[in-house]
Structure 1
Amino acid sequence: SRPSASQQSVSYRQSLPATKQFLEEINKWTSQHGVSPLSWDVAVKFLMARKFDVLRAIELFHSYRETRLREGIVKLQPHEEPLRSELLSGKFTVLGVRDPSGASIALYTAKLHQPSKTGNHVVLQALFYLLDRAVESFETQRNGLVFIYDMAGSNYTNFELDLSKKILNLLKGAFPARLKKVLIVGAPVWFRVPYNLLSLLLKEKLRERVQMVKMSDLRQHLPRDCLPEHLGGCLPLDVHSWNLQLLSEQNGRVDPVDELVGIPLENTSIHVPGPEAMGLAELMAHLNRAQRSGIYLEYEELRREQPPGTFTCALAAHNQERNRYGDVLCLDQTRVRLKRSDYINASFMDGYKQKNAYVGTQGPLEKTYGDFWRMVWEQSVLVIVMTTRTDEGGRRKCGQYWPKEEGGQEVYGHIAVVNHRVDKQAHYNQTTLELHNTETFEQRQVTHFQFLSWPDYGVPSSALSLIDFLGAVKHQQQWAVQAFGSQWRGHPLGPPMVVHCSAGIGRTGTFCALDICLSELQDVGTLNICQTVRRMRAQRAFSIQTPEQYYFCHTAILEHAQRQGLLSANQ
């Protein structure tokens, strides 16, 4: 409900000096990071959640922003899957009544959660979306929120300790609403140990607000007319009505949640956990059931899907000589644009919860060396991953676009490249390069990785050697981002890594797919290879070139899981 005129007047008078101070501080930050300034109404929301204590409200704003960035919850699309299904699942809703103090009552029904089918990411998306809509109400902003965690009828398979931690962390200090209390209702006996673990995580002040309550005692905390019938109240519960109403109201409007985030939208990513994600045991069962022939057929279905975009720029007569292969083109919608000559056969590709984590590109031609290094400079690239040799089977697969020998120097366009050091490993070379921009007199360090054990159109003889190589690449990227320091203000995982083979689709796609899937597996314990490849091909067309490469993704992940002890050898 909207506040009355008198309520608005009181709120305005109360908020005036605090809101001015809050906006002055926060909008210094937004201007430095190139995001939209916060509006007055949004500022008041954070201040009301902290009783107009400006310093605590500023702390809350940054906790909220960092939580959303960490969980990859940046631009919510409630009408798109998998979020729409999660919103309509009945797992979470806000009741149509308030408690006697005027607080909103949110209800989470644990028995409806199936971790094997829905990743934590989607659950948190739904929580953020529905809570954001709930606190649009002035009454909720002023009087706070009561959260009922309904465990009645749930069993151990419905419970995830990590998800529960994230929900409590969200409620206790990363959401612009005052949390009055959390009532854990109908908790089974097995929940005592997890509850003790959760309690240790909570500050004493919040611990007092979190209580385990027997179903029969719930009415001591909330009157019957505030409780649904299945919790001993007299309120008919239609779990879909409020959620459906919000979805219908959402049509055609811009969700204010995007303004609250204070994060540029380029941090969003298509690679997030989806409803069809598999655990490792499910992946193993799928592979055993389908066998190699079934996985090949699955790839064939993906291969037949047409790219969702156009190739106008790549097909332009003046650009065709810059394509290594006439039938391997980059989509207009995702291509990398150079500041001067504009065209290069390279595509931005998302990583796991990271927009533009990679630039997938072809092996540079002699005539495109300058374009390649200009792209590396313009995109602030710190790591280059090469998954081919320059020559294979008597054919040139990629130009020698960097000085190969230690101490070597070459100039490509306006970028001078110096080879400082070459470290030779069993399956790859790691070369430290120093780049000098001859126009701006700036310099930068870039690490070049070349994997040597991967035949064209084939797969590596050792899956684990490639995964170890991937680990070395990611470790170097992490180190380089830290060394880059304040010069980098984008995604915390850093600027895009350039990944290429010869055409920039087969081995390049396989490398990126493994990185995405293994990152998701590490984060939430699930993955979906088919979905990952489909989404990847929507950005770098034709990524993963053969059914053998697609099958290799499955077996490599399982080999890695067995080595890590995540899956026993006899499963």
Structure 2
Amino acid sequence: SQTMNLPRHKMYPHSTLFLSQATKQFLEEINKWTSQHGVSPLSWDVAVKFLMARKFDVLRAIELFHSYRETRLREGIVKLQPHEEPLRSELLSGKFTVLGVRDPSGASIALYTAKLHHPSKTGNHVVLQALFYLLDRAVENFETQRNGLVFIYDMAGSNYTNFELDLSKKILNLLKGAFPARLKKVLIVGAPVWFRVPYNLLSLLLKEKLRERVQMVKMADLREHLPRDCLPEHLGGCLPLDMHSWNLQLLSEQNGRVDPVDELVGIPLENTSIHIPGPEVMSLAELMAHLNRAQRSGIYLEYEELRREQPPGTFTCALAAHNQERNRYGDVLCLDQTRVRLKRSDYINASFMDGYKQKNAYIGTQGPLEKTYGDFWRMVWEQSVLVIVMTTRTDEGGRRKCGQYWPKEEGGQEVYGHIAVVNHRVDKHAHYNQTTLELHNTETFEQRQVTHFQFLSWPDYGVPSSALSLIDFLGAVKHQQQWAAQAFSSQWRGHPLGLPMVVHCSAGIGRTGTFCALDICLSQLQDVGTLNICQTVRRMRAQRAFSIQTPEQYYFCHTAILEHAQRQGLLSANQG
């Protein structure tokens, strides 16, 4: 490493003691988070990378770390596999590279060539994967960490079919505050006349400090910003541009090596979900012994310890004055870090939640209010939801728990915003109703089938009278989800286990959390024969804050799993 070859006093403008203390403080804070989420702690070198990007301001470096991690998670860029398609082809397309020279201040020069991008052939997701991968590789170099990055957005020779506003927004958002590198300037070169309007829109996104660093530059004036020997020949310089060599070199260096980038995301390398078997798993026999030893009172105390843990995130958006009326309960809010974002009005009280070895398996949300019916159905459409699980009645104990957000009777139809919903069929079972709904998007004229499940035997704040009836209900939901995902597979580009299902009760934390915890634990039990209820609930609460609302619901998870195991013959007679 180049870092190791430099004396400490030359590497940084601060004293060695200051740098060491700042790095220790950063690691102490971040590794509280990593241990809570069951992932590997960050290394010293990774910590230094984030601290250097923020001039060793620890609080700003911590903010940058979480912004970087959340951006990657939001874009689904978790485990980068550069030797697999389509990422390998994108890396070798020449669209993006880092030049083999530096500017006079020592900054790296990254080049994005817009005319090589064809939105109809390559999706944003792959472009962003390549951008993250190459930038991450670039800032492994100490000189780049110390001296920063110049980003050239080369629009010369491009036309409107090469441009995508959404992609440009994401690139600028990444550069402006979600990447561990000092961004010195962004030079937009050779922009066509038609780019002026999009540029005005993009510039509105930028904070004033960064806006000064983003400049539209004519080709002839580029040499005022960078000398000729730092520029490729096609941009008026004297540098022969080999767009493939640096990228190929990186790919060959990466072969067989664990990518440190994945460490930064805060997700175990084995899977994209936080719910994977951890170090303290239990067999069914051990779970039974634990329950016999702790008894109900001990399990309640275990829940109380979980309840006292503060959510690892913020509620800024949910607490904003203009969003208050969209929350059913003022004290049940969604974390900024995991909330579902709508494409237009943005806010809805809903959170992405992982399943067992599956990223974003659920969307946990509150029972829709009349004023949020349109938002709810827009979320269902935008997230390609095919199954909705409702674990409450609309009214319980004389109180409204959830709005009647779908046409209840067969043949009924309602319009919510731009989504028309038709009730095709209602199948009534002993403990639940299964309704087949057809959604019509009045803007795109597309239609989609969604199955709505409503469990009817679960009192608010309580637990079902029959654990097995709930587990049978869960089985019916899973079967429909798998069938629907297979039918939708030609359009689905996400996780192979399927699309997210919406799960809600009234507040979206008690019965919702219990349902999801059972699904996660039973899935793990079926997969590897072990489970850990406490770990599952702790990790779940880190995504949908306050999930599982009462100690009784937490205790119910234990007894329901054991009842299921007995029925399945997984416990011997003397254990049962």
Q: Which runs of 5+ in 1 are unaligned?
A: 1-10
Cα distance change on mapping 1:117 and 1:512 into 2, 3 Å: farther
Residues 508-527 of structure 1 mapped to structure 2, 5 A cutoff: 508-527=512-531
d(CA) in 2 for partners of 1:495, 1:241: 38
d(CA) in 1 for partners of 2:207, 2:330: 62
Of the structure 1 ranges 75-84 and 459-468, higher mean CA displacement relative to structure 2 is found in 75-84
Cα distance change on mapping 1:511 and 1:248 into 2, 3 Å: farther
Q: CA deviation at 1:518?
A: 0.4
What is the DSSP-based 3-state SS (H/G/I as helix, E as strand, rest coil) of the residue aligned with 2:41?
coil
TM-score, normalised with respect to structure 2: 0.56
Q: Is the 8 A contact 2:267 2:273 kept in 1?
A: no
Cα distance change on mapping 1:545 and 1:155 into 2, 3 Å: farther
TM-score, normalised with respect to structure 1: 0.57
d(CA) in 1 for partners of 2:423, 2:137: 55
What is the DSSP-based 3-state SS (H/G/I as helix, E as strand, rest coil) of the residue aligned with 2:321?
coil
Q: CA RMSD in A?
A: 20.6
Q: Is the 8 A contact 2:509 2:549 kept in 1?
A: yes
Cα distance change on mapping 1:195 and 1:565 into 2, 3 Å: farther
Of the structure 1 ranges 41-50 and 428-437, higher mean CA displacement relative to structure 2 is found in 41-50
Q: Is the 8 A contact 1:118 1:277 kept in 2?
A: no
What is the DSSP-based 3-state SS (H/G/I as helix, E as strand, rest coil) of the residue aligned with 2:403?
coil
Q: CA deviation at 1:65?
A: 22
Q: CA deviation at 1:485?
A: 2.6
Q: CA deviation at 1:54?
A: 48
Q: Is the 8 A contact 1:82 1:275 kept in 2?
A: no
Q: How far does the alpha carbon of each residue in 1:443-465 deviate from its partner, in whole angstroms, 9 at most, with x for none?
A: 00000000000000000000000
Q: Is the 8 A contact 1:119 1:275 kept in 2?
A: no
What is the DSSP-based 3-state SS (H/G/I as helix, E as strand, rest coil) of the residue aligned with 2:45?
helix
Residues 255-270 of structure 1 mapped to structure 2, 5 A cutoff: 255=259, 268-270=272-274
Q: CA deviation at 1:569?
A: 3.8
Of the structure 1 ranges 446-455 and 38-47, higher mean CA displacement relative to structure 2 is found in 38-47
Identity of aligned residues (%): 96
d(CA) in 2 for partners of 1:241, 1:322: 52
Residue matched to 2:7: 17
d(CA) in 2 for partners of 1:23, 1:548: 37
Cα distance change on mapping 1:149 and 1:532 into 2, 3 Å: farther
Cα distance change on mapping 1:232 and 1:465 into 2, 3 Å: farther
d(CA) in 2 for partners of 1:212, 1:272: 47
d(CA) in 1 for partners of 2:119, 2:298: 26
What is the DSSP-based 3-state SS (H/G/I as helix, E as strand, rest coil) of the residue aligned with 1:265?
coil
Question: What is the aligned length?
Answer: 561
Of the structure 1 ranges 331-340 and 46-55, higher mean CA displacement relative to structure 2 is found in 46-55
Q: CA deviation at 1:568?
A: 2.3
What is the DSSP-based 3-state SS (H/G/I as helix, E as strand, rest coil) of the residue aligned with 2:282?
coil
Cα distance change on mapping 1:512 and 1:26 into 2, 3 Å: closer
Q: Is the 8 A contact 1:15 1:44 kept in 2?
A: no
d(CA) in 2 for partners of 1:192, 1:411: 38
Q: CA deviation at 1:494?
A: 1.2
Cα distance change on mapping 1:295 and 1:258 into 2, 3 Å: closer
What is the DSSP-based 3-state SS (H/G/I as helix, E as strand, rest coil) of the residue aligned with 2:101?
strand
Cα distance change on mapping 1:410 and 1:294 into 2, 3 Å: same
d(CA) in 2 for partners of 1:194, 1:440: 24
* Pairing partner for 1:396 from 373, 386, 400: 400
Of the structure 1 ranges 555-564 and 485-494, higher mean CA displacement relative to structure 2 is found in 485-494
Cα distance change on mapping 1:310 and 1:481 into 2, 3 Å: same
Q: How far does the alpha carbon of each residue in 1:468-519 deviate from its partner, in whole angstroms, 9 at most, with x for none?
A: 0000000000000111131111111211000000000000000000000000
Cα distance change on mapping 1:66 and 1:560 into 2, 3 Å: farther
d(CA) in 2 for partners of 1:310, 1:551: 28
Q: Is the 8 A contact 2:521 2:531 kept in 1?
A: yes
Cα distance change on mapping 1:219 and 1:471 into 2, 3 Å: farther
Residue matched to 1:181: 185
Q: CA deviation at 1:570?
A: 2.8
Q: CA deviation at 1:114?
A: 51
Cα distance change on mapping 1:70 and 1:557 into 2, 3 Å: farther
What is the DSSP-based 3-state SS (H/G/I as helix, E as strand, rest coil) of the residue aligned with 2:270?
helix
Cα distance change on mapping 1:245 and 1:374 into 2, 3 Å: closer
Q: CA deviation at 1:368?
A: 0.2
What is the DSSP-based 3-state SS (H/G/I as helix, E as strand, rest coil) of the residue aligned with 2:71?
helix
What is the DSSP-based 3-state SS (H/G/I as helix, E as strand, rest coil) of the residue aligned with 1:266?
coil
d(CA) in 2 for partners of 1:156, 1:441: 26
Q: Is the 8 A contact 1:122 1:274 kept in 2?
A: no
d(CA) in 2 for partners of 1:90, 1:484: 34
What is the DSSP-based 3-state SS (H/G/I as helix, E as strand, rest coil) of the residue aligned with 1:485?
coil
Q: Is the 8 A contact 2:267 2:274 kept in 1?
A: no
Q: CA deviation at 1:161?
A: 52
Residue matched to 1:32: 36
Of the structure 1 ranges 67-76 and 361-370, higher mean CA displacement relative to structure 2 is found in 67-76
Q: How far does the alpha carbon of each residue in 1:261-296 deviate from its partner, in whole angstroms, 9 at most, with x for none?
A: 999999711101000000000000000000000000
Cα distance change on mapping 1:179 and 1:497 into 2, 3 Å: same
Q: How far does the alpha carbon of each residue in 1:110-169 deviate from its partner, in whole angstroms, 9 at most, with x for none?
A: 999999999999999999999999999999999999999999999999999999999999
d(CA) in 1 for partners of 2:524, 2:82: 22
Q: CA deviation at 1:566?
A: 0.5
Q: How far does the alpha carbon of each residue in 1:1-45 deviate from its partner, in whole angstroms, 9 at most, with x for none?
A: xxxxxxxxxx99999999999999999999999999999999999
Q: Is the 8 A contact 1:118 1:275 kept in 2?
A: no
